[in-house]
A and B are shown apart, each in its own frame.
Chain A
């Protein structure tokens, strides 16, 4: 199974700050066929189901604000949230769907400082 190592476990920020969440996979997630990285990012607010933010490592899902930026390739990926808003306080998860079984990172809790 591909292991997803996500860091940090938690992050305390003030509104307006920029934050970075990292995800490292134990194997490359880059498809040689289409040159796409099978890495997605999800946001889960308290009491809610996960919401897809980013797919193919850097493509924003429709309706997701442009302050959410995904980057990286191969085994190292980053989710950057610029100008954090109070509504962004949530848990964030990376997911590899390159091979079965799909595996999630352990999650990052974004809290208010």
Chain B
């Protein structure tokens, strides 16, 4: 069974940093591209970043470029999102998701809440 478990969320002040982790199991992690998607409170879904299966390629939405870094450790089957210079508008539940062989987000974690507030 595919499982994605996020951790590392919490309350952080504007301008500070936070690192999210996503532990994967139930599939060969190193075979799949992975992504982070977020959802602000009572709002819709918003793609944040994608990383290729081997970590060689990364893609970011414009609003997080230069502030967020997606990475992975295939030996640990873990995906990361380093978030720097956080802003109030980054407040959201962050989901990690697997990009299936058909390039679609086919499995999602349960999400982790990040609140940016002073």
A-to-B contact residues, CB < 8 Å: 38, 40, 42, 44, 48-52, 55-56, 61, 93, 95, 97, 100-107
Contacts and interface: CB of A to CB of B under 8 A. Distances in A.
Dominant secondary structure at the B interface: strand
B59 A100 contact: yes
B68 interface: no
Interface of B: 35, 37, 44-47, 50, 59, 61-62, 95, 102-111
A56 to B, nearest CB: 7
A38 B47 contact: no
A95 B107 CA distance: 14
Task: Specify which of A38, A100, A101, A102 lies most central, judged by the most chain B CB atoms within 10 Å of its CB.
Answer: A102
23 contacts: A44-B45, A49-B95, A49-B108, A49-B109, A49-B110, A49-B111, A50-B37, A50-B45, A50-B108, A52-B105, A55-B102, A55-B106, A93-B44, A97-B105, A100-B50, A101-B62, A102-B35, A102-B47, A102-B105, A104-B44, A104-B45, A104-B47, A107-B45
A55 B59 contact: no
Contacts of A44: 45
The 8 closest A-B pairs by CB, nearest first: A49-B108, A104-B45, A102-B47, A55-B104, A107-B44, A40-B104, A106-B44, A52-B106
A101 B103 contact: no
A23 B30 CA distance: 33
A106 B44 CA distance: 6
Task: Specify which of B45, B103, B109 lies most central, judged by the most chain A CB atoms within 10 Å of its CB.
Answer: B45
A103 B47 contact: yes
B18 to A, nearest CB: 20
B104 A52 contact: yes
Contact of B61 (A55, A61, A101): A101
A46 B110 CA distance: 12
Nearest to B60: A101
A40 B102 CA distance: 11
Given A49-B95, A56-B102, A93 B59 contact: no
Given A50-B45, A50-B95, A100-B59, A95 B105 contact: yes
